[in-house]
Each structure stands twice: as C-alpha cells, then as structure tokens.
Amino acid sequence: MEPTTTRDAWQQACARVESSLRADGVDLIATAASLEDLEGRRVEFLGRSSALTLLLKDLKNLSLEDRRELGPRAQELKASIERKFALRHAALESDADGAALLKDAVDLTLPSLRPPRGRLHPLTTTLHAIADIFQRMGYSWAEGPFAEDERHNFSALNIPDDHPARDSHDTFYLSGLPLLLRTHTSTVQIRAMEAQQPPIRIVCPGRVFRHEQIDATHSAVFHQVEGLVVDERVGFADLKGHLQTFLESLLGQGTKTRFRPSYFPFTEPSTEVDAKCFFCSGAGCASCKHTGWIELLGAGVVNPKVLSNVGWDPEKWSGFAFGIGVERVAMLLHGVPDIRDFYVNDLRFLNQFDEDLV
C-alpha cells in the first residue's frame, strides 16, 4: 500500500478504518462469535499490517503541526478499538468458562458444615451483663464462700436469730457442720468489709440457695448480683442515681423507673425498684401482671447497725446496697417461662442463646 503523505489523505484513511469496524451497520468486534473469530478480527484491525498500524506509521510523513493535532486522535482511535476487543474478549471467555465448568457443578443446597460452636450459659451472660455495667461504674468484683456461717448470712446483716425476716430465707443447713448454704450474696458484703477499710465499691455476683419447693418460678439454686458502696456522705440520692444509670444501661436510655418503700433488715431506708414494663410500655400485660411495672431490684441505705457490726464508724461512713436476681432478668429478657430450664442443660435450650446480651 502506498504511504499516505497528505493530511487529507490521512484523514480519509482514518475515516475508512473507523467505518471498516462495522459491516452493514453491525459492529464486527461486538458480534465476534468465538474467541478464535475475535482473534482473527484483532489481527485484522490491530495487527502489524492492519490499516490502523500503517496509518500510525504514516503519521511521520505529516507536518509537525498536523502530527500534533492528528497524532492523539489516532492513538485515541486505537485505544477505543482495544477497549472494545477487551470487552468482547472477557464476555466470550466467561461464556466459555461457564460452559466448561458446568460439569464441576456441586449441590450447593447441601447442609453447611460448621465447626462445633460453643456458647455461654444464658445465666452467665446475664450475670456478666449486670455485673459489667457496675464494673464500668467503678465497682470491683468480690466473692465469698457458698457455705457460710450464721454470722455472715444473718446476724451481721441485722437479721437476728429469732427474727421473722428469716422466714423469707428458707435455709439449707449442712449436716454436722456449723454452716449453711448462703441464702443471698449479701454475705460477701460482710466479708469484704471485714477484709478491708472504707471506702468500698463492690459488686458481689454469685450463686445462692433457698430451701424452696421447685416450680416454674422457684429454683432451690439461683444467682444474684448484689452491690455495696460505702463512702463519706453517701445517701439515698446516690442509690437512686446509680441504680437509674444501671437500669438505663441494661434496658435502654430513658427507661422509666419507680422507687417504692420496702423493708430489708440490712438497709434503712429500703426500697424496691421497678422499671416501666418494657414489653407493654406500661399499658399492662402478662409480664408485668397488668401493673405496668416490673420489679427488678431491692436496695437501700446500709443500716448503720451493719457498719457497726463490722467495726466501721457509722458516724463517718454511710452507703447503699442493692441486689438483683439473675434468673429473673434472664427470664424477662429472653422470654424463658420456666426457671427450671436453666438447670436441665438440654442442648436444644442452651444453643438458643448467644454470647452477648446487651
């Protein structure tokens, strides 16, 4: 082919290349039927002896001015053709793969294979959720023995021997030992106060025992989280602030609460704390026994007698204490109707609960 030397001729040649990409209005690249077909057309349009390659070579015959103008246009034309080829190539390749790999098809509906997945017991997650909120408020974890003496379980807590308050603490005594199974974790408060000096801020989570007939809402073994704060100038208002913060952390910001007067021998004044029913928003439902409120905590200002009992000066120190039942919270939050299910350890039950509660 004769080299193109004039600007006009070059431009005409360029237009011819562009129009050669189509035949009867059909895009020859986009309609290549196979990878082989496409390769043939690539040689035709982009090969060493293609019109486009020659055209690019002929650029050198043009004036510097023309080259500056037409050069980039030619490069752009080449790039656009290459893009078209790449696009078609990818499409043809994936068609070819699809056909070739069809024979490797497996049944993707077969059940998934999973490594065994462990879970923490819902009572553990609930207990941790409760205790961890208090930890974030500066309460240290404290523990004590499950088998306790009368002093730590009762008398040091201002529950004297012949007091009717003991009636609500049906107690397991151990044969031949001066011990009982603790009926509440308030025992740990006494132990902690005996072991250190004020101030103190502790949370005492753990297992407790009551000699009660077992039914859907009573278990002879259950768990509590109790807390104790003793410091200078602590009053009922601090109890309200802390427990409100706790309940909002557990149940959500803006949780409405109600502090009702109540009685515990080891606190004075005493209170029971209800949260606005989080199932019916207070309208009344089975969960709140149609009262609109759910009782969650018992609490109060530490009875000065308890401080005196451990040798702390009640004139200088004051505090508050509280307790919450773990099973009750777990039953409410997870909708478990029967407390006994927590102690059967049926894997169909245990596997329903995830690690996280809040």
Partner 1 sequence: MKISSNWLKAHLDFDGGAADLSAALLKIGFEVAGVQRLGPQFSGVVVGKVLAKDKHPNADKLAVCVVDDGAQKWNVVCGAPNVAAGQTIAFARIGAVLPGNFKIEGRKLRGVESQGMICSRAELGLPKDNDGIWVLGEGPTLGSDVGSQLGPADDVLEVEITSNRPDCLSHRGLARELAAALGKSLKPLELPREEPTGGTFPVRVEDAAACPYYSARLIEGVKVGPSSDSARRRLEAVGLRPINGVVDVTNLILHDAGQPLHAFDADKLEGGTLIVRRSRAGEKLLALDHKTYDLPEGLLVIADERKVVALAGVMGGTQTAVTESTTRVVLESACFLASEVRRSSQKTHLRSDSSYRFERGVDPAGAAPASARAAALIVETAGGRAGAAAVVGAPTSPNSEIRATAARLNAILGATFSADEINRVLRAIAAEFKAEGDALVFRAPSWRRDLATANDLAEEIGRFLGYERIPYRLGALAPRAATLTPVEKTSRRVRARLAALGYAEACNYDMLSEKTLAAARLPAEGLPRVAKPLSEDWAVMRPTLLPGLLKNAAYNLSRGVDAVRLFEVGKAYSQKDGALVEGWRVAGLLLGPVLDARWQSARAPRAGFADAKAAVEELLAGGALTWAKPGEGAAGRWVCDPLFHPVNALRALLDGAPVATVGWLHPRAARAFDLEREGAVLFEVNLDRLAARPAAAARFNDFSRLPVSRRDLALVLDKARTYAEVEAAVHGCKLAELQGVLLFDVYEGKNIPDGKKSLAVRLTFGRADRTLTDAEVAGFVEKIVAALGARLGAVLRG
d(C-alpha 273, C-alpha 299), whole Å: 8
Site for partner 1 in 152-181 (CB under 8 A): 162-165, 167-168, 172-177, 179, 181
Binding residue (CB under 8 A) for partner 1 from 1, 100, 102, 347:
347
Shortest spacing between CB 113 and partner 1, in angstroms: 5
Q: Are 58 and 66 in contact (CB under 8 A)?
A: no
- Binding of residue 254 to partner 1 (CB under 8 A): no
Q: Which distant-in-sequence residues (6+ apart) come within 8 Å of 153 by Cβ?
A: 169, 171, 180, 182, 183, 184, 186, 187
> 152: how many CB neighbours lie within 10 A of its CB?
20
Do residues 273 and 243 lie in contact, with contact meaning Cβ atoms separated by under 8 Å?
A: yes
334 binds partner 1 (CB under 8 A): no
Please report where in the chains the tokens 């009982």 appear, as a residue.
180
Q: Can you read off the two tokens belonging to residue 262?
A: 């109540």
Question: Which one, 55 or 234, has the nearer CB to partner 1?
Answer: 234
Q: With binding defined as CB under 8 A, does residue 103 bind partner 1?
A: no
DSSP state of 166: G
Binding mask 193-232 for partner 1 (x = CB under 8 A): --------x-----x-x-xxxx-----xx-------x-x-
The stretch among 2-10, 28-36, 45-53, 267-275 that binds partner 1 (CB under 8 A) is 267-275
Nearest to 295 by CA among 336, 318, 325: 325
Q: Using alpha carbons only, give the angle 105, 111, 112 rounded to the nearest 5 degrees.
A: 90
Q: Which is nearer to partner 1, 55 or 192 (CB)?
A: 192
Of residues 265 and 325, the one with the C-beta less far from partner 1:
265
Residues 30-69, mask of contacts with partner 1 (x by CB under 8 A): ----------------------------------------
Q: Site for partner 1 (CB under 8 A): which residue of 92, 255, 268, 358?
A: 268
Contacts of 145 (CB under 8 A, 6+ apart): 182, 187
Which of 116, 254, 335, 337 is the binder for partner 1 (CB under 8 A)?
116
CB 83 within 8 Å of CB 90: no
- The minimum distance between CB 114 and partner 1, in angstroms, equals 7
Q: Which is nearer to partner 1, 146 or 279 (CB)?
A: 146
Which residue number, 52 or 330, has a Cβ lying nearer to partner 1? 330
Stretch of 13-21, 34-42, 79-87, 345-353 contacting partner 1, by CB under 8 A: 345-353
Rounded to 10 degrees, what is the CA torsion of 195, 199, 201, 205? 20
Nearest of 323, 355, 327 to residue 342 by alpha carbon: 327
* Binding to partner 1, residues 118-147 (CB under 8 A): 118-121, 123-124, 128, 134-143, 145-147
Q: Does 98 bind partner 1 (CB under 8 A)?
A: no
Decide: is 234 part of the binding site for partner 1 (CB under 8 A).
yes
Structure tokens at 142: 């404290």
